[in-house]
């Protein structure tokens, strides 16, 4: 692997450095930064993959990171507890603020935690930059061990940033006038929203609304993040304020999510019961994806999709996914991989029959088997959007939920830790716009089966 493929994580380091500069700015700069302009570019409409031939509404829900836990111990976003006790879009009445105000001692403790988290984040950023400089001065190809070390360093930096972000959110809720925390929050909210990094984002946006910053983009961000992480009451309260027009930021996404909130909530409640039973059994297969952005641990739905899971595990054990790019990453939608050629045409030289289509809802962090789009679907709404039985090695990891009414695809697993790595993947495209800058794709460095049931995983296949 050449040095070029490892240049992708520099974007995070640059952003982190900008945030550090903002944190150290003077009072005037802090005040100016308090209103986050969460404007993003809408997702590329021409980048839809096989698994994307679906109604415009989509996608999933996952983890809520706590403090600074290792990636493998992160709770999936699906388990984030609703924060119904926190405000959605309006300031609390003064009387209520007085009743729930934090004591000076509590504020002091939260300030100490925030200061420590920022200190740790800056240290991690400096160490990451040292790693960057080492790679830039290295000659020849980058060794496998160096790829892993790079990814681990970036992952540690991102985890430190997330810990500081969560600490800032807690501090702003307790001390509305804390300029350092508010400045940090404003910059971090923008970065998280731009990167589809929804863990912790809902509470941060709500905290900024509570301190009196009136910006409908904050409501939009809070609503989308809440829907992505399973807090549908907060999602409904905030998404109903979404303007009917405009494409900036997450506005188009918010309108799409608002359209499907009721069926999505019903599907999520069903999913939670299934996940509870799976947690009690604690025997589903798991695969660790080591990516250029850090480790991603996935759990596979063998109960519903045994043949698809058998195919995936056999490919992992054969080393098929080593150095395979995330060749298409569509913002607010999904990351697609599994094609060794990186142009969208690659397969495992066999197909598998469709199974479990629509049995598991597709939420944030779902693994979805990609299929070939049906060329007739654009002209005939009565035909399927994808060609049956064309799944192979390619799959999606979703950034947001899909419309529950779309039941053509097989959801065969979910991310249980590492969604921060997926969220910050470079937004690579197969079809590039004219004069668009070249975006180097991130990749799976290697994949490893870390747990499976005691039987052979041999898929039943169809020829191409």
Return the higher-pLDDT residue of 21 and 188: 188
406 vs 370 pLDDT, higher one:
370
| Residue 65 pLDDT | 39
322 vs 86, residue with greater confidence: 322
Band of pLDDT at residue 94, cut at 50, 70 and 90: very low
Higher pLDDT: 49 or 447? It is 447
Cβ 410 vs Cβ 394: under 8 Å:
no
Low-confidence winner among 126-130, 194-198, 207-211 (lowest mean pLDDT): 126-130
Q: Return d(Cα 104, Cα 124) in angstroms, integer.
A: 30
Distance CA 390, CA 371 (A): 5
- For the segment 195-199, the average pLDDT, to the nearest whole number, is 96
Residue 143: the pLDDT is: 63
Q: Which structure tokens are listed for 392?
A: 């192979």
What is the share, in percent, of the chain residues with pLDDT greater than 70? 75
Pairing of strands 286-291, 328-330: unpaired
Two structure tokens written together for 49 = 């993959």
Q: What Cα–Cα distance (Å) separates residue 2 from each residue in 127, 147, 428?
A: 22, 10, 18
Q: What are phi and psi of 199, to 5 degrees?
A: -65, 120
The per-residue pLDDT for 292 is 92
pLDDT of 433 higher than 80: no
| pLDDT at res. 8 | 36
| Residues 6 or more apart whose Cβ sits within 8 Å of residue 393 | 311, 315, 320, 321, 338, 339, 346, 347, 348
Helices (H), 42-103: 94-100
Give percent of the chain above pLDDT 90.
Answer: 62
- The CB density around residue 60, as the number of other CB atoms within 10 Å, is 33
pLDDT at res. 30: 39
pLDDT at 156: 92
Region of residue 435 (phi > 0: left; psi between -120 and 50: alpha; otherwise: beta): left
Contacts of 432 (CB under 8 A, 6+ apart): 438
Average pLDDT over residues 191-201: 95
Kindly tell me if the per-residue pLDDT of 118 is higher than 90: yes
Q: Looking at residue 393, what is its pLDDT?
A: 98
Task: Inform me whether the pLDDT recorded for 91 exceeds 50.
Answer: no
- Average pLDDT for 187-202: 94
Q: pLDDT averaged over the chain?
A: 81
pLDDT grade for 90, boundaries at 50, 70 and 90 = very low
Angle 351-355-356 (CA atoms, 0-180°, nearest 5)?
Answer: 150
- Across the range 112-126, mean pLDDT stands at 95
Least confident among 80-89, 103-112, 285-294, 402-411: 80-89
CA 142 to chain centre: 27
212, burial (CB in 10 Å: exposed 0-12, middle 13-18, buried 19+): exposed
Segment 220-252, tens digit of pLDDT: 999 999 999 999 999 999 999 999 998 887 999
Q: For 410, which DSSP code?
A: B
The predicted pLDDT at position 57 comes to: 42
Tell me the chain's radius of gyration from C-alpha atoms: 22
Would you state the pLDDT for residue 247?
Answer: 83
The reported pTM is 0.78
CB atoms within 10 A of CB 28: 8
**Which residues have C-beta within 8 Å of that of residue 210, sequence separation ≥ 6?**
86, 87, 91, 92, 172, 173, 176
- What are the tens digits of pLDDT across the range 12-40? 443 444 445 544 444 444 334 343 333 33
Q: Is the predicted pLDDT of residue 174 greater than 50, yes or no?
A: yes
pLDDT (tens digit per residue) in 355-379? 988 899 999 999 999 999 999 988 8
pLDDT 10s digits, 271-280? 999 999 999 9
Is the distance from CB of 61 to CB of 363 less than 8 angstroms?
yes
Name residue 406's beta-bridge partners.
none
């Amino acid at each position: 692997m050449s040095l070029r493929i490892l240049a992708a994580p520099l974007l995070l380091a640059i952003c982190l450095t900008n945030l550090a500069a903002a944190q150290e700015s003077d009072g005037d700069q802090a005040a100016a930064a308090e209103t986050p302009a969460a404007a993003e570019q809408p997702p590329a409409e021409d980048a839809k993959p096989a698994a994307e031939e679906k109604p415009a509404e989509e996608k999933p829900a996952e983890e809520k990171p706590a403090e600074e836990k290792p990636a493998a111990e992160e709770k999936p976003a699906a388990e984030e507890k609703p924060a119904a006790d926190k405000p959605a879009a309006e300031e609390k009445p003064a009387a209520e603020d007085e009743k729930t105000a934090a004591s000076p001692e509590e504020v002091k403790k939260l300030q100490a935690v925030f200061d420590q988290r920022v200190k740790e984040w800056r240290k991690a950023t400096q160490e990451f930059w040292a790693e960057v400089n080492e790679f830039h001065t290295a000659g020849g190809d980058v060794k496998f061990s160096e790829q892993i070390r790079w990814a681990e360093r970036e992952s540690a930096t991102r985890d430190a940033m997330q810990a500081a972000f969560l600490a800032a959110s807690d501090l702003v809720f307790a001390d509305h006038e804390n300029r350092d925390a508010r400045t940090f929050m404003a910059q971090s909210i923008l970065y998280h929203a731009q990167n589809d990094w929804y863990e912790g984002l809902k509470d941060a946006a709500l905290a900024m609304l509570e301190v009196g910053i009136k910006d409908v983009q904050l409501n939009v961000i809070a609503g989308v993040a809440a829907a992505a992480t399973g807090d549908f009451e907060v999602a409904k309260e905030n998404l109903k304020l979404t303007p009917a027009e405009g494409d900036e930021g997450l506005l188009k996404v918010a309108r799409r999510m608002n359209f499907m909130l009721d069926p999505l909530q019903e599907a999520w409640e069903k999913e939670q019961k299934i996940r509870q039973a799976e947690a009690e059994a604690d025997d589903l297969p798991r695969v660790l994806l080591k990516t250029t952005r850090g480790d991603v641990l996935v759990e596979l739905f063998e109960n519903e999709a045994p043949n698809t899971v058998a195919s995936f595990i056999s490919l992992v054990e054969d080393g098929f996914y080593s150095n395979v790019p995330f060749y298409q990453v569509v913002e607010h939608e999904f990351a697609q991989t599994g094609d060794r050629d990186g142009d969208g045409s690659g397969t495992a030289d066999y197909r598998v029959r469709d199974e479990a289509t629509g049995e598991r809802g597709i939420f944030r962090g779902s693994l979805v088997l990609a299929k070939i789009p049906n060329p007739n679907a654009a002209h005939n709404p009565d035909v399927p959007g994808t060609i049956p039985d064309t799944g192979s090695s390619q799959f999606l990891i979703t950034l947001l939920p899909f419309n529950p009414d779309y039941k053509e695809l097989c959801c065969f697993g979910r991310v249980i830790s590492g969604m921060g790595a997926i969220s910050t993947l470079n937004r690579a495209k197969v079809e590039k716009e004219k004069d668009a800058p070249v975006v180097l794709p991130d990749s799976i460095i290697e994949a490893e089966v870390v747990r499976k049931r005691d039987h052979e995983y041999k898929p039943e296949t169809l020829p191409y």
